[in-house]
């Protein structure tokens, strides 16, 4: 601000120079000051809410983009369908959102922010609940809600101020208030005996509603518990997927999983030893309704023979979509199913090069399924069969379709791909893991006499020769498979408990009101004047009704009187104004 030039008096003092303001210099923040400032910003409630919002946004890609932990097959299909975008998403961790660097950074910052925010509040709250309610103010009529009633001399409450206050104590305790009887409490500093705030004051202080703040703190502490549980679960849990064909056995070892992921604290060499054999798989579809529900699934039940540990007696367990199998804390969920045609492929030398079930992938509700069979050990040339399996075969406009999901008339239609003699067209010697549905670039489509890709249609129990003397293929039978999602998470109980605690805490903080009530009794000309006043933290539409109810319980036969401080008379009746109960004041 520019200084004003003044005239110089006879003393010779230069007021212009005297009034000039020196420049303002801010104190420099050293490294410790900047760290303190950053800590205060991070541990503020605003930062915690912002980080919680960012965490919610960061979790959205996990529900939009397929995840390696849930379904690696879908991730592979996504990469094939998006050759430009897919690799960038993979580099940025979008297929492993919940273990990515950016998600973990938000997660850890939120954890630190909550710790720095909750712990100081918890200390303040513990000190507050250990303190007694404050003494009654001198002018109770100045509080937001107050009622003054006269207890006539001939009534129990009007016998004396002590009788009135005893009645108020009983009423407050019935309403679960924490009370302090100021008649026996130590005097406040500087107060005189018998006067407001002094020894022997005829008043009572009461309060309740600390449960609201306790619930708020419990909610935040429970949120910390949820974060810790999730972190512990990501480190100590494992999960994987396995396809189990009917009649085959799954052993809980990494080699039996089709895909497997584990936390850093999991020893993959010492997984809980158990085995599960798929004995039967029952699937039922709607047949009575010929409308939109025809062919809709009605029941999926997989019957397993489970051996919980080596040497234990086997037991039978039925698994359905809502009833997983639990073995020593490891849960097996039924997440899919399909058909597995049993094929036998003989090579050009007449040797059996492949025999067994071929897993198919359903493509529609009638279980038209993609089938791929690789025969890398066939001689003189490798063989691959690619086609579709149709449970109930039919031709519509020359296109093979399935009319019903049950195998009423099953067919297997395949194209034949061959490698050149001595060439590894399937890339099976490369040692790189690959999907059973993906073929190498060195395979050539076999053509028919018309120059079109050769199609072989097989029914159960039939066989057909392969072109160029490559061998034969036979459709020996049909079985089913169950796709299982297998998980072990030791933190799920803690996560559930802390989530329930958070629900209880937030419910208490929303529905419990913090209230303070003061009662004072003074001798009047015709009895005892009892004044009840209350205040609350925040909005509480029911405070007026609460004060009126306490006053009525203290002086049930009382009537309105002028306030002790000379204010207007207060009627005990109430009126409804804008949905709130308020005491009606009459002059």
24, 231, 213, 196: which is closest to 110 by C-alpha? 231
**Could you give the CA distance from residue 120 to residue 88 in angstroms, rounded to a whole number?**
43
544, 522, 518, 546: which is closest to 532 by C-alpha? 518
Instruction: Give the model confidence (pLDDT) of 192-235 as tens digits.
Output: 545 554 544 789 999 998 888 899 899 989 988 998 998 898 88
Count helices and strands (H / E) in the chain. Answer: 11, 27
**Could you give the CA distance from residue 478 to residue 480 in angstroms, rounded to a whole number?**
7
Q: What is the pLDDT of residue 15?
A: 52
The SS3 of residue 119 is helix
Q: What is the pLDDT of residue 584?
A: 33
Instruction: Give the model confidence (pLDDT) of 460-507 as tens digits.
Output: 999 999 998 899 999 999 999 999 999 999 998 999 999 999 999 999
pTM (predicted TM-score): 0.67
Q: What is the pLDDT of residue 571?
A: 39
The SS3 of residue 256 is helix
pLDDT in tens, the chain (587 residues): 444 444 445 555 555 555 556 677 777 778 888 888 888 888 887 888 899 899 999 999 988 998 887 777 788 778 888 889 989 999 999 998 988 889 989 988 988 988 888 888 888 888 888 888 888 888 898 998 999 998 888 888 888 889 999 999 999 999 999 999 988 755 555 555 455 545 447 899 999 988 888 998 999 899 889 989 988 988 899 999 999 999 999 999 999 998 888 888 999 888 999 999 999 999 998 887 666 788 888 899 999 999 999 999 999 999 999 899 999 899 999 999 999 999 999 999 899 999 999 999 999 989 999 999 999 889 888 999 999 999 999 998 888 999 999 999 999 999 999 988 888 878 777 666 666 767 767 788 998 888 889 999 999 999 999 998 899 999 999 999 999 999 999 998 999 999 999 999 999 988 888 899 999 999 888 889 999 999 998 888 899 999 999 999 999 887 776 545 434 344 333 333 333 333 333 33
Q: What is the pLDDT of residue 431?
A: 63
Cα separations (Å) of 354 from 14, 71, 373, 498? 110, 28, 9, 53
Q: Which fold has domain 137-209+513-585?
A: TATA-Binding Protein (3.30.310)
Please answer whether residues 277 and 249 qualify as being in contact, where contact means their C-beta atoms are separated by less than 8 angstroms: yes
Q: What is the pLDDT of residue 145?
A: 92
Q: What is the pLDDT of residue 495?
A: 92
Q: What is the pLDDT of residue 13?
A: 54
Q: What is the pLDDT of residue 314?
A: 95
Torsion on CA atoms 36, 42, 46, 52, rounded to nearest 10:
-170
**Could you give the CA distance from residue 478 to residue 358 in angstroms, rounded to a whole number?**
9
Q: Where are the domains of the chain?
A: 31-129, 137-209+513-585, 214-236+491-506, 238-488
User: What residues are paired with 465 via a beta bridge?
Assistant: 472
């Amino acid at each position: 601000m520019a200084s004003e030039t003044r005239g110089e008096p006879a003393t010779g003092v230069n007021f212009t120079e005297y009034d000039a303001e020196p420049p303002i210099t801010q104190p420099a923040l050293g490294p410790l000051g900047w760290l303190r400032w950053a800590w205060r910003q991070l541990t503020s409630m605003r930062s915690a809410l912002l980080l919680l919002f960012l965490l919610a946004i960061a979790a959205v890609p996990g529900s939009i983009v397929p995840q390696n932990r849930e379904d690696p097959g879908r991730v592979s299909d996504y990469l094939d369908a998006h050759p430009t975008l897919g690799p960038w998403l993979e580099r940025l961790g979008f297929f492993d959102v919940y273990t990515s660097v950016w998600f973990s950074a938000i997660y850890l910052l939120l954890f630190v922010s909550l710790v720095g925010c909750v712990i100081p509040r918890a200390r303040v709250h513990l000190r507050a609940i250990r303190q007694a309610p404050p003494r009654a103010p001198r002018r109770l009529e100045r509080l937001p809600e107050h009622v003054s009633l006269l207890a006539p001399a001939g009534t129990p409450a009007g016998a004396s101020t002590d009788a009135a206050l005893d009645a108020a104590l009983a009423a407050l305790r019935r309403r679960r208030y924490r009370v302090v009887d100021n008649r026996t409490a130590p005097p406040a500093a500087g107060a005189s005996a018998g006067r407001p705030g002094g020894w022997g004051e005829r008043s009572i202080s009461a309060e309740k509603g600390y449960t609201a703040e306790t619930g708020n703190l419990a909610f935040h502490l429970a949120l910390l518990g949820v974060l810790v549980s999730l972190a512990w679960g990501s480190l100590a849990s494992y999960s994987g997927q396995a396809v189990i064909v009917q009649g085959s056995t799954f052993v809980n070892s990494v080699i039996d999983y089709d895909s497997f992921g584990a936390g850093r604290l999991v020893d993959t060499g010492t997984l809980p030893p158990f085995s599960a054999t798929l004995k039967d798989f029952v699937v039922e579809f709607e047949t009575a309704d010929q409308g939109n529900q025809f062919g809709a699934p009605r029941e999926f039940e997989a019957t397993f023979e489970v051996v919980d540990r080596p040497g234990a007696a086997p037991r039978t367990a039925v698994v359905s979509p809502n009833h997983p199998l639990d073995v020593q804390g490891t849960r097996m969920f039924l997440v899919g199913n399909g058909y597995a045609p049993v094929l036998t492929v003989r090579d050009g030398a007449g040797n059996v090069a492949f025999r067994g079930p071929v897993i198919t992938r359903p493509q529609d509700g009638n279980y038209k399924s993609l089938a791929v069979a690789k025969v890398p050990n066939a001689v003189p040339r490798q063989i691959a069969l690619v086609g579709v399996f149709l449970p109930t075969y039919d031709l519509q406009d020359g296109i093979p379709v399935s009319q019903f999901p049950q195998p009423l008339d099953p067919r297997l239609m395949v194209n034949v791909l061959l490698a050149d003699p001595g060439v590894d067209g399937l890339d099976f010697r490369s040692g790189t893991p690959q999907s059973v549905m993906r073929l190498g670039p060195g395979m050539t489509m076999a053509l028919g006499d018309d120059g079109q890709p050769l199609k072989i249609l097989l029914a159960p129990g039939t066989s057909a020769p392969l072109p160029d003397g490559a061998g034969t293929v036979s459709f020996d039978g049909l079985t089913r498979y169950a796709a299982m999602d297998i998980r072990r998470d030791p933190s799920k109980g803690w996560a559930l408990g802390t989530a329930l605690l958070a629900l209880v805490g937030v419910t208490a903080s929303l529905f419990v009101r913090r209230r303070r009530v003061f009662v004072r009794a003074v001798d009047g000309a015709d009895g005892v004047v009892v004044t009840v006043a209350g205040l609350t933290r925040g909005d509480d539409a029911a405070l007026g009704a609460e004060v009126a109810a306490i006053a009525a319980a203290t002086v049930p036969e009382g009537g309105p009187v002028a306030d002790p401080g000379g204010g207007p008379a207060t009627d005990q009746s109430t009126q409804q104004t804008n949905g709130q109960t308020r005491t009606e004041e009459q002059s």
